[in-house]
Amino acid sequence: MGIKYLWEYEDIYYPRQMKTGEVGCFLSHYKIWEQMIERGEKEVLVLEDDVKFEPNFITNAMHILKQIREVPNWDFLYFSREDVQFSKEIIVPGTENIVYAEYSYWTVGYVITREGAKKLINSKPLEYLLPVDEYLPIMIRSDHNEDDSIAITKLWLKRVEPLYHNVDFAFDESQKTFYFSKNRVHWSNDRFAHIISLKEEAFQFARRSSTDFVFFCDVDVLLTNPKTLDILIKLNLPIVSPMLISANHLYSNFWALEEEYTIIMSQGVGEFKVSMVHSAVL
């Protein structure tokens, strides 16, 4: 079947790789997604063998399905899950008690549409296999989203442009999705070339503007300290990067799998030499 494990995957709660049972579990779900596409099923309710039915399950399920079917372009609905975020979740507009699920575990019960199954299959998960209850929330929360990023950025630029010496914004509205890699781990040469070309364009713009410093920042980076740039500039180093920490897990934008990795684990303060930095770099 061409199955490959996600490189260096390790359970975040238990230091171990995928178990054989987890592989079999994923494949059983994958087979269901394949079959519903082949048979042209509009919706499928998936229940695992350890599901426990509450009283009035069918009545409650039909009530929930009636609500979700009024939501345009829905793909996936949990019937049972473990919320590991413990944060307040937002009610889906037009429904009574359906929420936008935060990061969740378990796949004991869920309803999936044919379009949802296609998206899961087309992402080629067998090339970077991980447990199904981690794959699903990753896909649900981060993939296949459409927004008004260009329009929002234009509006923001119009408001803040007077605050800056110069502003340049280049975009191509025809490009909605990029497929630059075979999977989520290994980048293709085209993807590397694309990223490098973007940085080269920024460098050329900086040179034409006689800029002393260039700060590269990915769109998913949020800097909460307003003095971040001032601090980095005062260090006067050829390359320097602020430490980033995500809300869910300990994570940073440096690559250092040696002793330096304890910096973030111990929440150390100061400047440290590391092997590589990314995401936000001056």
Q: Is pLDDT of 250 > 50? A: no
Q: Provide the 3-class DSSP secondary structure of residue 156.
A: helix
- Give residue 282's pLDDT: 94
Work out the end-to-end distance of the chain between its first and last CA atoms, rounded to an integer number of angstroms: 44
Closest CA to 113 of 125, 121, 124: 121
- Give residue 12's pLDDT: 58
- Give residue 166's pLDDT: 77
Core vs surface per residue 91-124: b (16+ CB within 10 A) or e: ebeeeeebeebbbbebbbbbbbbbebbebbeebe
Query: What distance in Å separates the CA atoms of residue 114 and residue 37, rounded to the nearest whole number?
Result: 6
pLDDT band, very low/low/confident/very high, at 269 (cuts 50, 70, 90): confident
pLDDT band, very low/low/confident/very high, at 189 (cuts 50, 70, 90): confident
Average pLDDT (32-51) is: 94
Model pTM score: 0.53
- Beta carbons of 100 and 92 less than 8 angstroms apart: yes
The ranges assigned to domains in the chain are 20-123, 135-197, 215-281
Q: Provide the 3-class DSSP secondary structure of residue 181.
A: strand
